[in-house]
Amino acid sequence: MIRWHGHSCFEIDGTYTVVFDPHDGKSLGIPAPSPRADLVLISHDHFDHNASRVVKGNPEILNSFVGKTRKKGIKIYGMKEYHDGVQGEKRGEISIYRIEMDGISFVHMGDIGHVPDENLIKKLKGCDILFIPVGDVFTVGAEDAWKIAESIGPRVVVPMHYRIGGLSLSIKPLNGFLKKMPENRILRVGNSVEFEKDDLPEKTEMWVFSL
């Protein structure tokens, strides 16, 4: 199961529960999440991504992790990238995470701010589900996000970090990214979706979540 808590915060619930990039809600003007998890993965130490205090259950926390490890049976690969297009000079570094749990591979791109090189793309290719920011301004926008997604070739693309009602960040809405995918391959899944690996599409789909 995947549940969206707004912005870049996703909860993946399988054998274990993983939360990516929690926020506190009030700092962004959107509802506060209160998930319970075994593991929290934080892509970088900015206020809208690092609110691990909202996650219940005394989880293990990896913040800006780079390298390979295994936690509670979950394979984790953290890769250093940049929050901007100038090697981190404006907004610093981030970690992109690729994890494998229950035979499914997930990639969370954090606040990627540029199109990464082929070396990184190779490490991400063939993932099942790709979470990618599309809101521009602080991250890549629709055009570059789509270039990245096409290069990686996941079975499911999940847009994140875009303008929604109440959000206090001046970033762009989802519309531009939606235009990249034929309407018949866009699934509006609500706040959460349950699935097995066998349910995943052979041809890339876009799953759009809502709060």
When pLDDT is cut at 50, 70 and 90, the band that residue 172 belongs to is very high
pLDDT, tens digit, 9 for 90 and up, residues 32-53: 999 999 999 999 999 999 999 9
What is the pLDDT, as a whole number, of residue 97? 98
pLDDT tens column, 174-205? 999 999 999 999 999 999 999 999 999 999 99
Tell the burial category of 15 from Cβ atoms under 10 Å away from its Cβ (0-12, 13-18, 19+): exposed
pTM flag (> 0.95):
yes
Burial class (CB in 10 A: 0-12, 13-18, 19+), 202: exposed
For position 110, which CATH number holds?
3.60.15.10
Is residue 72's pLDDT more than 90? no
Q: Containing domain of residue 187, as a range?
A: 2-209
- How much is the average pLDDT of 139-164? 98
Q: Looking at residue 109, what is its pLDDT?
A: 98
The total number of structural domains that make up the chain: 1
pLDDT score of 206 more than 90: yes
Q: What does pLDDT average to over the chain?
A: 96
